Amino acid sequence: MMQILSNSGNNIKYKTRIPSPQTPQQNKTSGWRNAAGITAGGIVGLSYVPVVLSEYVTKLSARDLVTYKRIMTYILPDIDTLTNTKENILNILSEKGLKEKGVELLVASKDNEKEVMNVLSAEVRGNSRFKKTMRENFLQKFTEGLNACFANNARKIIIPAKQLYMSAYHEAGHAYNCFKSPIGRILQKNRIMTPLGISAALPFALGIGLLHTPKNVDTAEKSKWEKTKDFIKNNAGKITMATYIPILAEEGLASVNGLKFAKKYLSPEKLQKLRLGYIFAWASYLLVALGISSTVWAGIAIKDKITGSRQA
């Protein structure tokens, strides 16, 4: 409550201003604004999620395949032959003790789709329609030269036979992280914070950011739970971004290791092209992290703008 000082002659009187209660109409308007703010903020906050998930479940058309192949050729050109690359990777696996760990190289093509699918079944387990679609989507991208990976469970480095096989050094870096690097192993385990490229913190950060309205009181008067919700709301975007640190660090470390391995086998000119390709590939992970975290921040900001609320 606010007190107003009124000076009437020598008599000083204090008057108390009592906030007038909201009318039913004002309450109704406030309720609609809150609902509209949460809806709009939720739509914006989740807008980048379908873009990321489409990478896992959308099967590419013939036209899309041509477009993506051109992009991949530009990002990571075939600077060496597949035969040389296979030989180099097999040597690296032996030199780094990865062959002893059971790590093998698998070159994916239309001729060995069944073998590749067996590996994918060990990595993407389950018989749901979503899991089956994921496996089919990965199979298409491996055999068409649009993706590569290190399959931890099967201990296989999968590279395509058509193109993009220069990613083999990077995938060998993942295998090294898994079996030979304590830091790399920790980072790999913590990639669970971003399953399918989506931050595990997103539903909590966005949900609290949209549903929580900070109380207009001094911080000292707030409970620990209120302070926690205030903090999450005020830092939802940063919290979401922080969950991507393990995947960004592990991907970067895999590339660093891969380039170290390739240095022995490639000329300086080819190594520089490979380095640029790996930087572009790493940037795609950064783009996802920024896209998800920035839309979370924007969604909460839009909700606050519509409702007229503020940060704590």
For residue 19, the model assigns a pLDDT of 47
Q: Quote the tokens at residue 255.
A: 């590339």
- Higher per-residue confidence, 309 vs 154: 154
- The region of weakest confidence among 3-7, 47-51, 110-114, 207-211 is 3-7
For residue 95, the model assigns a pLDDT of 97
Question: Structure pTM?
Answer: 0.87
Of the pLDDT bands very low, low, confident and very high (cuts 50, 70, 90), residue 310 is low
User: Residue 14: pLDDT above 50?
Assistant: no
- The residues with which 12 forms a beta bridge, in sequence order, are 7
Of the pLDDT bands very low, low, confident and very high (cuts 50, 70, 90), residue 15 is very low
Q: What is the pLDDT of residues 97-138, one digit of tens each?
A: 999 999 999 999 999 999 999 999 999 999 999 999 999 999
**Percent over 70 (pLDDT), the chain:** 90
User: Residue 13: pLDDT above 80?
Assistant: no
Of 163, 145, 151, give the one whose Cα is nearest residue 120. 151
Of 155, 122, 117, 152, give the one whose Cα is nearest residue 138. 117
Q: What are the distances in angstroms from CA 57 to CA 60, 193, 198, 264, 295?
A: 10, 20, 14, 38, 22
Q: What is the pLDDT of residues 165-220, one digit of tens each?
A: 999 999 999 999 999 999 999 999 999 999 999 999 999 999 999 999 888 777 77
- Higher per-residue confidence, 9 vs 255: 255
Q: What is the pLDDT of residues 145-156, one digit of tens each?
A: 999 999 999 999
- Higher per-residue confidence, 28 vs 155: 155
Of the pLDDT bands very low, low, confident and very high (cuts 50, 70, 90), residue 2 is very low
For residue 215, the model assigns a pLDDT of 83
d(C-alpha 127, C-alpha 132), whole Å? 6
For residue 59, the model assigns a pLDDT of 86
**Mean per-residue pLDDT of the chain:** 90
For residue 186, the model assigns a pLDDT of 97
**Percent over 90 (pLDDT), the chain:** 77
For residue 114, the model assigns a pLDDT of 96
Q: What is the pLDDT of residues 238-274, one digit of tens each?
A: 999 999 999 999 999 999 999 999 999 999 999 999 9
What is the identity of the amino acid at 227?
K
Of 279, 296, 181, give the one whose Cα is nearest residue 243. 296
State the average pLDDT over residues 217-244.
Answer: 91
Of the pLDDT bands very low, low, confident and very high (cuts 50, 70, 90), residue 82 is very high
Alpha helices in 103-244 (DSSP H): 113-123, 129-143, 168-179, 182-189, 202-211, 224-234, 236-242
Helix, strand, coil share of the chain (percent; to 5): 65, 10, 25
Residues in the chain: 312
